[in-house]
Amino acid sequence: MDLQRNPLLQTDGLPQFDQILPSHVTSAVRQAIREAEAKFLQLEKQDTSGWDDLMVPLADIHLRLSDVISPVGHLNGVRNSPELRQAYEEVQPEIVAFDLRMSQSDAMFQRVKRLSEQKETLSWPVARKRIIEKYLQNARLSGIELPAEKRKRFNEISTKLTQLSTDFSNHLLDATKEYSMILRDSSDITGLTAGFLSMAAQRFAQKFPEEKSGGAEKGPWLVSLDYPAFVPFMENSKRRDLRESLFRAFVTRASDGSYDNRPLIIEILRLRREQANLLGFRSYAELSLSRKMAGEVSRVYHLLDELKDAAWANAQNELKELQTLAETEGITEPLKNWDIAYWAKRLQEKKFSFTDEDLKPYFPLSSVLDGLFSLVKRLFGIRVQDAQGETSVWHPDVRFYNIFDENNAHIASFFLDPYSRPENKRGGAWMDDCKIRYLKKDGSVQKPVAYLVCNSTPPVDGSHPALLTFREVETLFHEFGHGLQHMLTRVDDPDVSGINGVEWDAVELASQFMENWCYHRQTLMNMALHYQSGDALPEDLYQNLLASKTFRSASQMLRQVQISLLDMELHHNWDPESDSRSPFDIQAEIARKTSVMPPLKEDQFLCSFSHIFAGAYAAGYYSYKWAEVLSADAFAAFEDAGLENEDAVRKTGHRYRETILACGGSEHPMDVFRKFRGREPDTAALLRHSALTKGA
């Protein structure tokens, strides 16, 4: 293949998604690694240890390599195919090997150490000090100080772990894609909404085009295991037997056959522990925490215990409430796991007199985006403008936008991929960087560009636009919060620009902060406009939505605590070499201690826990709660200033932008938080927002 025409190697602008093919991957990545290797070898031979002739060229090598590799990883998540998957897996070991080659360069390590000891570093900006500090820490945690044999073993483990994580993710995607519950009889669909049936009929027609479809009214209907299908089915289907069947399929995903993730889980945990031991840590959790804001495992357990204690009694009462309601409807036996979502939805409707279907017509995606863009203009003084057509995209549904500052200067851009595509797009929602802000050699600044990816319910049959559930609205705000921290950074050093260099347990602050605005009257009323009439959300619906914010908040809190504790136990206290218990035994033990509903014996949740086995949250899932403490406290600053006081909101928003969003990873997150809040964070706001304190 002609490398000159390979679109992955044309990195001056944005990726050419309309031209990138799986056949481009291996040649482009290998060429990029060869170029990076040559530049790195030349850099190693130099003797000087100044910032400009050491750290700047090193960052350039990383940036160029990332510009080639990043679009491949992105497409693997949003446009997966067997061909792309094979090509990506083929080059992954080479990527890992070169990353280790750079991080384990003794010559570079010694030069950076000498640089850190020079007197002039005392007058450096804090960002540069952080970069040096993190470089040396990452080098040590990459095994640079290990003797040769141990370093060789460390590298073998790193390569193997990368492959295992990819296999885990692929197994989960394939298992989710393969499952189908086909409904053919009208008795199968009792309780399901018209919108859901339209989606389910459309999915059946797409998967089985050879079969005649009667559409939403006559079926057949296909129910899958991705969240836009699973959640509303569990909440609304009156067929308890079908709920049980779908629930069991969901909690046993990727746990048998060719997609079995169970052996991968044990091997991943074993290798992580071995790698941590090689570096002198007792457990992988200790290794993980050495890089995080919390710092110590004991501090994580302390937070989780505090939240568990605050939620436990309320969660017991919440379950009793569901059981009581079910009994009034003739259910005499104790509720099961597959009943909780259904009766919780019935209780919510009874308490607050609305359903998801009542709200969805008021949240067409276009109106939600208008409201979101209006909010960030109000808070941060930025303007978001549609730029569709300015660059290529990977799917027709993907949108592209530019961001302008108060002086109408273009400062950033982002892609938005809003809808679920279970056939080739992994589940969940995420933000990733396409381009990082940094100061170029010519004095210009590369503008940051973000990927914002959701899995919201797509438009159905062209009969109406995409109508979001309120949870999908919150998810969009969440991911946009991540995007803001990436795009509004003022840091010009790429290693700590945007979310780069931000401790992992602080990185959710900016995202969870944005979710709070979904309940704010002005914000909500600006975006909640009926897709047909244009009418604003009725006041009674708004009040009921507001009242429902803390509905079953104790149960939700316990679920997050449960998952976080499970993650920590597996990575800190479970030793695969000596412990007779399996990871699933640990899962059951933690569930019994943290759940008021007895866990299902067959539950294989770990097989789909991609956050820790195929993502970046290993011994770090607690980060969601840790950062939620930060985000709730940050939002409380706006509450203290007065949410309806425009001048106060603008001033507080400016301070938030100039600290939380602007500083990126250039300073320790505790220092950044103190700059914004004037003190260290407190759990009081989170507990108050969750109605878990007296008087809430």
How does DSSP classify residue 657? I
| Residue 172 amino acid letter | L
Tokens 């299908």 correspond to: 229
> Whole-angstrom Cα distance, residue 465 to residue 457?
10
H helices present in 497-645, as ranges: 509-515, 521-527, 539-547, 553-572, 583-594, 610-613, 623-641
Name the CA dihedral angle for 197, 199, 200, 201, rounded to a multiple of 10 degrees.
Answer: 80
452 with 485: CB under 8 angstroms? no
User: Strands 221-223 and 383-386: what pairing?
Assistant: unpaired
465 with 494: CB under 8 angstroms? no
Please name the residues in contact with 525: beta carbons below 8 A apart, sequence gap of 6 or more: 536, 537, 542
Tokens of 331: 């259910």
Judged by phi (left if over 0) then psi (alpha if -120 to 50, else beta), residue 501 lies in left
Please name the residues in contact with 632: beta carbons below 8 A apart, sequence gap of 6 or more: 512, 516, 685, 686, 688, 689
| Residue closest to 428 by CA, chosen among 458, 398, 395, 453 | 453
479: annotated active-site residue = yes
User: Strands 430-435 and 449-456: what pairing?
Assistant: antiparallel
**Sign of the Cα pseudo-torsion (460, 394, 179, 472, in order):** negative
**C-alpha count within 13 angstroms, C-beta hemisphere, residue 308:** 20
| Residue closest to 238 by CA, chosen among 153, 145, 346 | 346
For residue 460, report the phi and psi dihedrals to the nearest 5 degrees. -120, 125
305 with 681: CB under 8 angstroms? no
Burial 186-212 (b: 16+ CB within 10 A, else e): eebbebbbebbbbbbbbbbbeeeeeee
Tokens of 3: 């490398």
| Residue 447 amino acid letter | K
Q: Which of 235, 318, 479, 503 is catalytic?
A: 479
Q: In the β-sheet with 410-419, what is the strand arrangement from edge to edge?
A: 383-386, 399-404, 410-419, 449-456, 430-435
Tokens of 51: 């910032």
**How many helices and strands (H and E) does the chain possess?**
27, 9
470 with 541: CB under 8 angstroms? no
The three-class DSSP label of residue 342 is helix
Q: Rg of the chain over CA atoms, in angstroms?
A: 25
**C-alpha count within 13 angstroms, C-beta hemisphere, residue 343:** 22
How does DSSP classify residue 491? -
User: Strands 221-223 and 181-183: what pairing?
Assistant: antiparallel
Taking the alpha carbons at both ends of the chain, their separation in whole angstroms is 65
Please name the residues in contact with 670: beta carbons below 8 A apart, sequence gap of 6 or more: 293, 680
> Whole-angstrom Cα distance, residue 108 to residue 186?
69
The angle formed by the CA atoms of residues 531, 535 and 536, to the nearest 5 degrees, is 105
Residues marked as catalytic: 479
